[in-house]
Structure 1
Amino acid sequence: MTTSRTPSPFAAGETSLIVKLPEAEPIVRPWRERFDPSAAYGVPAHVTVLYPFLEHARIDARVVAELRGLFAGHAAFEARFARCGRFPGILYLVPEPEARFVALTEAVAARWPEAPPYRGQFDEVIPHLTVADGEDLDAVERQVAAGLPAVAHARSVSLEVFDGERWHPEAEFALGEQSGELLGPKPSY
């Protein structure tokens, strides 16, 4: 049986860098599954560090090593989500401290200026965990806010790749450590 799905907003070969936040999943999963289109493509609860990053074809052993070193220079940290925020048509959780996520984004964007956050569409980086995308978000916000606060641990940054149908983790970079783990079969860098 096939299911119809709207065309993907993502292109095959796109990559992103995200901090996965599994501790927030119990609060946001039901809403993300219904109201966040990225969840249908395999994106877990997260705060984006940089999207889009480099095209997958450009990511080689040198880029992986540079990412590993860059993230090793940033300590792991705890993030608290105690309130909701809004962009037009989007409900999200606000991470505190925001500055730690901003620092990660700025470090990557400074090293790869050809990959500005969100294609340079916005003047300011506002870290967030998207919960829902839609018209009437007040009821969702009330339900989500009732489950807050959530505390999550930012221990690593995941390099995610879109294969044309789903997002998949390709590499995980520990914050504050020199090790980095490639996931799945080793890519041919």
Structure 2
Amino acid sequence: MADDSTSRFQAGQTGLIVRIPDAELAVRAWRERFDPSAQAGVPAHVTVLFPFLDESRIDARVRSGLAATIGSHHAFDLRFESCGRFPGVLYLAPEPDTQLRRLTEVIADRWPEAPPYGGQFTEIVPHLTVADGQDDAVLDEIEADLLGRLPLTARVSSVDLMVHDGAKWQERTSFALLG
């Protein structure tokens, strides 16, 4: 089983995500068992920027800046045809991922104090996490199941600001993309 979801996240922590509701049927059961973010209330998603600013810093000016930055990008379609891995992590790989990378870059450029993944990784790799903190045998089982459920497609028309309240993640605001 994955780590306790409350130990990974702190009250006031925020993140920006793209929800992928069309993936829920395929990934929900696996995510509920093996993804701490799902256990903490985050839907199937691709992260745009995590962590973002602490909730105490998100005022009308920041919301307005996010709306303008995100709203200057067009809605787009994604396709999930394959899985990918990081050590201990299985994810669905979105294609094309260029627009997701661009959203991450422009938001991180506007708020340099909030680098992607806290600056822990140099490369931005958009992904929809299905399992985290698992050994290869578990990831192999999940991947075999998922490959029979792919491809999936999704329309991306907004980016959601999520806030951790100390127990669960909650959506605070949704920012629309053009079109």
TM-score, normalised via structure 1 length:
0.89
Cα distance in 1 for residues equivalent to 2:41 and 2:53 = 19
Matches within 5 A, 1:25-64: 25-64=24-63
Question: Which position in structure 1 is the counterpart of 2:159?
Answer: 157
1:120 aligns with 2:122: no
Cα distance in 2 for residues equivalent to 1:156 and 1:120 = 24
Q: The residue matched to 1:8 in structure 2 has which SS?
A: helix
Q: The residue matched to 2:112 in structure 1 has which SS?
A: coil
Question: Which position in structure 2 is the counterpart of 1:96?
Answer: 95
% identical aligned pairs: 56
Measured on the aligned residues, the alpha-carbon RMSD in Å equals: 1.0
Q: The residue matched to 1:13 in structure 2 has which SS?
A: coil
Judge conservation of contact 2:5–2:36 (CA < 8 Å) in 1. Answer: no
Cα distance in 2 for residues equivalent to 1:48 and 1:73 = 19
CA deviations 1:66-123 (Å, max 9, x no partner) are: 1000011110001000000000000000000111100000010000000000000101
- What amino acid is aligned across from residue 107 of structure 1 in structure 2? V
Cα distance in 2 for residues equivalent to 1:38 and 1:65 = 27
Q: The residue matched to 2:122 in structure 1 has which SS?
A: coil
Q: CA 1:115/1:12 → structure 2, altered by over 3 Å: closer, same or farther?
A: same
Matches within 5 A, 1:100-111: 100-111=99-110
Gaps of at least 5 residues in structure 2 are: none
Q: Which runs of 4+ in 1 moved over 4 A?
A: none
TM-score, normalised via structure 2 length:
0.94
- What amino acid is aligned across from residue 57 of structure 1 in structure 2? S
Cα distance in 1 for residues equivalent to 2:177 and 2:15 = 17
Judge conservation of contact 2:14–2:55 (CA < 8 Å) in 1. Answer: yes
- What amino acid is aligned across from residue 141 of structure 1 in structure 2? E
- What amino acid is aligned across from residue 158 of structure 2 in structure 1? S
Question: Which position in structure 2 is the counterpart of 1:68?
Answer: 67
Return the offset for 1:176: 1.2
- What amino acid is aligned across from residue 43 of structure 1 in structure 2? V
- What amino acid is aligned across from residue 110 of structure 1 in structure 2? D
Judge conservation of contact 2:49–2:104 (CA < 8 Å) in 1. Answer: yes
Q: The residue matched to 1:26 in structure 2 has which SS?
A: helix
Cα distance in 1 for residues equivalent to 2:174 and 2:58 = 14
Higher helix share: 2
Cα distance in 2 for residues equivalent to 1:81 and 1:28 = 12
- What amino acid is aligned across from residue 52 of structure 1 in structure 2? P
Q: May I ask how many residue pairs the two structures share in their alignment?
A: 173
Cα distance in 1 for residues equivalent to 2:22 and 2:65 = 28
Judge conservation of contact 2:91–2:127 (CA < 8 Å) in 1. Answer: yes
Gaps of at least 5 residues in structure 1 are: 178-189
